[in-house]
């Protein structure tokens, strides 16, 4: 098992480096530079100074090496658009906020999704099943940018149960709205996945053996069936983490939360290369970690996979 984990971790490193390299060159191959914006016309001298300050005057391969060397240590330099703030400062401030929401929403969607899926599979074609399948279809079809303002309108403005927006230093009542909005899509997907795989497994032969041993039906399902049924769900968690990063952009905008989401788009639009590369690298690292963790979890759940 340890060998499997180590092998998986080692193969994650070249992937991170490859993604960082790709991002660097995609950004640098773009024509023009962040300093020629049409709103402010800078003199040639100022431009040259700026270029020197950010190391643009060096040859591209040198810039690349500097970026990789510092980037792998978590240093990306000063942001272009937020003057005087280093990229790592910005990330250090904003990441915990986004990470809290993202982590909570993944946990919530996993708990609710798997429970719903399991109930549906065990009671196939019951009222609960139909209700959940309908709810899942609906949940997949309502984009978060529609759901969030409606939720705010009803839960916060009309009923006054929750604060309408803001962060409140992460107090629980500020968290409910954003986490729910972010989790809904994943709840429906996870419920659908676990229902489908559990339905298939419930018909398989080793469960007949388990029942024949005289195990009560609950332990047959929870110990034997659910473990196997979790495989596609765990595999889905990697991409789900990526989706959450995108989802936070909308959620943070609607709920006015000081997370990474608002830097995310503004860095791309303002061509803030240092901030953009910082966030991209962070994103690549997080994604790779999530994918690796989900691979390891699949290996833990299914001995056949780690033998390969």
Partner 1 sequence: MFSLFRPKQQIYPSGSLSSEAWRRLRKNKLAMISIVFLTILSLLCFLAPLLPIRAWDAIEFVEEPIPPSAAYWFGTDGLGRDLFSRVLYGGRVSLSVGIIASSMAVTIGVLYGATSGFFAGKIDRWMMRFVDFMYSIPSYFVIIMIQVVFQVHNILFLFAMLSLFQWLGSARVVRSQILSLRERDFVTALHASGISSAGVILRHMIPNVLGIVAVYATLTVPGIMLQEAFLSFIGIGFQARGSDGVMKDIPSWGSLLGQGVATFETTPWLLIFPAVLFSMTLLAISFLGDGLRDALDPNLRK
What residues make contact with partner 1 under the rule CB under 8 A? 15, 18-19, 22-23, 26-27, 30-32, 137-138, 140-143, 145-146, 148-150, 153, 157, 239, 242, 245-246, 249-250, 254, 264-265, 268-269, 271, 276, 279-280, 283-284, 287-288, 291
User: By C-beta, is 106 or 287 nearer to partner 1?
Assistant: 287
Containing 304, the helix (H) or strand (E) segment is helix 303-307
User: By C-beta, is 141 or 219 nearer to partner 1?
Assistant: 141
Burial category of 183 from C-beta neighbours within 10 Å (exposed 0-12, middle 13-18, buried 19 and up): buried
User: By C-beta, is 187 or 220 nearer to partner 1?
Assistant: 187
Q: Least distance from C-beta 105 to partner 1, angstroms?
A: 17
Q: Least distance from C-beta 171 to partner 1, angstroms?
A: 24
User: By C-beta, is 210 or 296 nearer to partner 1?
Assistant: 296
Q: Least distance from C-beta 184 to partner 1, angstroms?
A: 12
User: By C-beta, is 82 or 220 nearer to partner 1?
Assistant: 82
Q: Least distance from C-beta 165 to partner 1, angstroms?
A: 12
User: By C-beta, is 46 or 157 nearer to partner 1?
Assistant: 157
Q: Least distance from C-beta 251 to partner 1, angstroms?
A: 12
Q: Least distance from C-beta 234 to partner 1, angstroms?
A: 16
Q: What is the 3-state secondary structure (H, E, C) of 16-53?
A: HHHHHHHHHHHHHHCCCCCCCCCCCCCCHHHHHHHHHH
| Cα-to-chain-centroid distance, residue 141 | 20
Q: Least distance from C-beta 149 to partner 1, angstroms?
A: 5
Contact 143, 181 (CB under 8 A): no
- For 286, the 3-state DSSP assignment is helix
User: By C-beta, is 220 or 240 nearer to partner 1?
Assistant: 240
Q: Least distance from C-beta 45 to partner 1, angstroms?
A: 25
Burial category of 59 from C-beta neighbours within 10 Å (exposed 0-12, middle 13-18, buried 19 and up): exposed
User: By C-beta, is 117 or 220 nearer to partner 1?
Assistant: 117
Query: Rounded to the nearest 10 degrees, what angle do helices 87-122 and 172-202 cross at?
Result: 40
| 54: Cβ contacts below 8 Å, ≥ 6 apart | 77, 78, 80, 273, 274
Positive or negative torsion for Cα 274, 243, 101, 229 = negative
Q: What is the 3-state secondary structure (H, E, C) of 204-270?
A: CHHHHHHHHCCCCHHHHHHHHHHHHHHHHHHHHHHHHHHHHHHHHHHHHHHHCCCCCHHHHHHHHHC
């Amino acid at each position: 098992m340890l060998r499997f984990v180590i092998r998986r971790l080692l193969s994650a490193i070249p992937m991170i480096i490859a993604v960082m390299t790709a991002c660097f060159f995609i950004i640098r191959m773009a024509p023009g530079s962040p300093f020629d914006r049409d709103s402010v016309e800078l003199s040639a001298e100022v431009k040259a100074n700026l270029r020197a300050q950010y190391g643009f005057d060096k040859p591209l391969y040198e810039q690349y090496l500097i970026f990789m060397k510092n980037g792998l240590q978590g240093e990306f330099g000063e942001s272009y658009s937020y003057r005087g703030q280093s990229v790592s400062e910005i990330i250090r401030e904003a990441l915990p906020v986004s990470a809290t929401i993202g982590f909570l929403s993944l946990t919530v969607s996993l708990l609710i999704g798997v429970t719903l899926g399991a109930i549906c599979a065990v009671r196939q074609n019951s009222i609960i099943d139909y209700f959940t399948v309908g709810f899942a279809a609906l949940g997949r079809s309502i984009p978060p940018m529609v759901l969030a303002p409606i939720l705010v309108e009803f839960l916060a403005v009309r009923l006054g149960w929750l604060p309408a927006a803001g962060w409140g230093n992460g107090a629980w009542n500020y968290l409910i709205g954003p986490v729910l909005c972010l989790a809904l899509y994943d709840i429906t997907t996870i419920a659908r996945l676990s229902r489908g795989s559990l339905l298939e497994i419930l018909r398989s032969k080793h469960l007949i053996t388990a029942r024949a041993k005289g195990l009560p039906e609950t332990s047959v399902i929870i110990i034997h069936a659910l473990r196997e049924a979790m495989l596609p769900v765990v595999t889905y968690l990697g991409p789900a983490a990526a989706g959450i990063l995108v989802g936070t952009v909308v959620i943070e905008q609607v709920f006015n939360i000081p997370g990474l989401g608002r830097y995310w788009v503004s860095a791309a639009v303002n061509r803030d290369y240092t901030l953009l590369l910082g966030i991209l690298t962070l994103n690549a690292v997080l994604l790779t970690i999530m994918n690796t963790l989900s691979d390891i979890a699949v290996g833990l759940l299914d001995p056949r996979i780690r033998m390969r």
